[in-house]
Chain A
Amino acid sequence: KAGVTQTPRYLIKTRGQQVTLSCSPISGHRSVSWYQQTPGQGLQFLFEYFSETQRNKGNFPGRFSGRQFSNSRSEMNVSTLELGDSALYLCASSLVTGFYEQYFGPGTRLTVT
């Protein structure tokens, strides 16, 4: 069974631009969560989607948004990029929302210059 896939793996953007990251969960998984990983703050929860609905949201500004499609694939968008948005963005999938076991993708490394 294929794992969680994230595209692109690496991305370089300029401050002020916007970016869209994509995540395809494991087949049959319907919940997708997003995390931001930085050296200073560690792993921080962004949001979780289940059945195309946002079920949970972390403490991030409104510039960070996401959505989920009917096939469970998810995208996250960051608008008006700031230097501090440089991070590894990880996507995790699980069978259903609130399910205890999550499987992580390899991440998208975003660099903002």
Chain B
Amino acid sequence: AQSVTQLDSQVPVFEEAPVELRCNYSSSVSVYLFWYVQYPNQGLQLLLKYLSGSTLVKGINGFEAEFNKSQTSFHLRKPSVHISDTAEYFCAVRSHSGNTPLVFGKGTRLSVIA
């Protein structure tokens, strides 16, 4: 079974400052890794995914994440945030093998302050 820990439930940051949202996972098998964003009263939108290959993945809206296998981490970063980035961010994993569902972290609420 897999599990995901998002280390910060809330992250306040000033506009144009950099941000890092932390995600650690636990799994006995290889996994795919995802970051989703949820804006108020909306569903989840895929920001980026790691399937294989380069450990640095770039997503939409200027976000990127780095897969670190030894640390079992997949932290999300953005060099300069905007007010519009205020949302809930979810890290998720899915096993390579078998028919297993996405397992989500509890989410991190990013609040960008003007």
Contact = CB atoms under 8 A, between A and B. Distances in A.
A and B physically associate:
yes
Interface of A: 4, 6, 33, 35, 42-43, 45, 48, 55-56, 58, 90, 92, 97-98, 100-107
Contacts of A105: 43
Interface string B33-47: 000100001111110
Instruction: Give the interface size class of chain B.
Output: 20 to 34
Interface string B14-58: 000000000000000000100010000111111001010000000
Contact of A42 (B36, B46, B101, B104): B104
Chief secondary structure at chain B's binding surface: loop
Contacts of A101: 46, 49
Contact of A98 (B41, B46, B99): B99
Given A90-B43, A107-B43, A48 B101 contact: yes
B49 A104 contact: no
B102 A45 contact: yes
Interface of B: 32, 36, 41-46, 49, 51, 90, 94, 98-107
A97 B102 contact: no
